[in-house]
Every structure is written in C-alpha cells, then in structure tokens.
Amino acid sequence: MKQKVIVAMSGGVDSSVAAFLMKKKGFDVTGVFLKCWSDSKDFSGECTWKNERRSAQKVCEKLKIPLITVDAEKEYKKYVVNEMFNDYKKGITPNPDILCNETVKFPFLFEEAKKLGANNIVTGHFVRIKKFFNGKYFLQRGSDESKDQSYFLYRLKESDLKKLIFPIGKYAKPEVRKIAKKAGLENHEKKSTVGICFIGKTNMKDFLKTKIKPRKGKIIDPNGNVVGYHDGIYYYTIGQKIGSKIDLEIDKHSDDKRKLSKWYVAKKDIEKNILVVAPEGHKILLRKEMALNDFHLITEDPNKIKNRSERKGLKVYSRIRHVGELIPSRLKYNSQKKRFELFLSRAITGVSNGQAAVLYKNRNVFGGGTITDL
C-alpha cells in the first residue's frame, strides 16, 4: 500500500514540482489548496485565490492527483491580517508570512492530514530537514541560498519536522523550473510571488489606510530640526528610503553634501508622533543590540540554552531579514529580565522592531524571536 501524503498547492512552480517529485517517488499524493483571502474590490486582484487555485488544479490534473480546497479565510483574517494591523498601529513592522505559517498554514495542513489519514505534509519551501544520529531532527537552510526560506519557518517545532517533507530544498530555483518544464507543467515559467500576496499590486500605505486613519506629525533630522511632516507614523518602516516611492518628502536644508545624500527612516517616536530621518551613513541608522520577544527554539532544550548563554553568551549567526546576510552574533540570556538578548558583531541598518531575528548554528536553524528594544 502506498504511503499517503498531502501537498500544499499554491499554484506556483515550487509546490507543483514538490507534488511531481512525491508522485514520481510512488507516494499516494493529494493536493491541498488553502483559501486565505477572497477576491475584493478593495485590492488589486493581482494575486486572487481563484486564479491561483485554477493554476493548482491544472497541475493536479496533469499529475492525476486530487485537489482539495480548504477555507482558512476566517482564521487568516483573525490571526494574520488583524494582528498585522494591530502591530502597525503600535508603530512596529510585523512579518505576516511568519505569522501565517505558525497560526494558519501548518495548523490547517496538519488537521487536513489527520482527516485524510496522511502520514506526511509536503510543501514547496526551499529548506531541508536532517535527522542526526542521536535521533534529533533539525531544520536546515536550502541549498540555494538566494531562495532559502528558513527565515519564514523558524517557529516550527521538532515534532513538526518529523512529519514534514521539503522535496525541493536540495535544488536551485533554475533546476526546479527545469524539472517543471520537463514534466510538462504549464506554470514552469510563472513568476514567484513577492510581498504579501493578498495585497497584490496595491500600495502598502494605501492598504494600511483602509484600517488605520492618518495622523499628521513632525519629521525631524538627528539634530531635532523639523524637515517635514508625515501623515501617519504607522505607514513607514525603519530603513525605508525617503522619496516619492513611499510618498514621503523632506526638506534637506543644510549644506550641499546633505542635500545630495540619500535619506532614510531612522526611528519612530510613537508617543510624540515623530518620525526621525537621517542621511545615509549616519550612526542613528545603525543598530547592533536588541532583545528578542517570543523566543523560540526548534530542537534545542530552552533551559539548557538559558544556562549556556547566560554568562559568556552563545555564538550564533543571525539573519535580520529574509535571505539577508548571516551575521556573526552572540546570544545571551538575561536572567534578571528573563529574556534573550542578541548582540551582532557589527551594527547594521534596517533593523526594525516587530521583524524576526532568526538564528543559525552552521546550516541548522537554531531558533529566533521578534525584535524589540534592549
């Protein structure tokens, strides 16, 4: 009897090749499409669920496997979209993809696998799983570093890894497309989704305005000079370049050098409703220390890591953004404040509260947490 698996089908080439590879290996494959967001006149419709399901259906028909559609929209709005708005209102920048994987995507897939009597869940993520000699399971970065998606999956548990399969993690993206083309899959050249899918081509600021009302405030430079006015501190992210693309202009008064410089969002003072901006290279844009909320470890014992990291700290590599640079860092546990703290080997730009800091030991995903002030 064939081993039964379900494959999360998104309509894209990665999940399609994952399904193809599992079918080729002789598994009993069922495709599962999660409907998280309906068509809406409020958004561009560029990434609609109907179009994506249609694409997934064509692949499943080609592979001669069934496709089940699971409605997760209610939970997606509650746990991802509403939470995203709440975070933006607080002035922090969340990562909805991580939240979706933890609260919606994988919980729904595990539930569906249970209903269908499937042994494993398969997805088209560019990550790998390795079982070590001691019986421990570790999540590892994908072979293609430019497409590695481990950043979005750091909140998985070791018990999850025992049931998950990531067939394309050992391939590079061009190889995946080549496999799809050879298999006769129509979506072999389909572009990958960039950004938050349900927003489509709608401007992020316009999207936020549907729930968060504008609130005018001052924009100041590092010296406290007023250089302009913003229409809502929540609409902007630390590290964003000032200019017409984010609908934010400032008066670069001062010397010619500053006028020619590129300027970026440096800080947000929520209480005073003030946006702080600075020219490229200014020290206020740099950050190397942070605390980590909701700290999570995939395989390691939290108590052992607390003890090991409390004094000298634990050497790790940190990734502050998806496929961002892996930075040598030191993880410390602060027993007085009962929290983990992260110290990068050098200060970098674009570190924003609410985003994830994901930690690595060699190729293994160690864990991570949500960035907040130290």
CATH number of the domain where residue 296 is located: 2.40.30.10
Residues 60 and 178 grouped into a single domain: yes
The answer to whether the CB of 157 falls within 8 A of the CB of 297 is no
What is the reported pLDDT for 312? 84
| Segments forming the whole domain that contains residue 309 | 285-372
Could you give the CA distance from residue 83 to residue 21 in angstroms, rounded to a whole number?
Answer: 36
Please report which helix (H) or strand (E) contains residue 35, including its range: strand 28-35
Could you give the CA distance from residue 194 to residue 208 in angstroms, rounded to a whole number?
Answer: 18
What is the reported pLDDT for 205? 78
What is the reported pLDDT for 187? 77
Could you give the CA distance from residue 335 to residue 256 in angstroms, rounded to a whole number?
Answer: 49
219-246 pLDDT tens trace = 999 999 898 899 888 888 898 888 755 5
Residues 62 and 181 grouped into a single domain: yes
Nearest alpha carbon to residue 49 among 63, 37, 66: 37
For residue 226, the cross-strand partners are: 220
Residues 194 and 223 grouped into a single domain: no
Q: Collect the ranges in the chain with pLDDT lower than 70.
A: 38-47, 193-202, 244-260
Q: Which of 223, 256, 281 is the last residue of a domain?
A: 281
Strands 164-165, 120-122: pairing kind: parallel
Question: Is 142 part of any domain?
Answer: no
What is the reported pLDDT for 211? 84
The answer to whether the CB of 34 falls within 8 A of the CB of 12 is no
Residues 340 and 327 grouped into a single domain: yes
Residues that are catalytic: 100, 197
Task: Kindly state the tokens that stand for 318.
Answer: 């940190």
Could you give the CA distance from residue 108 to residue 90 in angstroms, rounded to a whole number?
Answer: 29
What is the reported pLDDT for 41? 42
Residues 103 and 172 grouped into a single domain: yes
Question: Is 117 part of any domain?
Answer: yes
Residues 256 and 318 grouped into a single domain: no
Predicted model pTM: 0.88
Could you give the CA distance from residue 280 to residue 241 in angstroms, rounded to a whole number?
Answer: 9
Question: Is 222 part of any domain?
Answer: yes
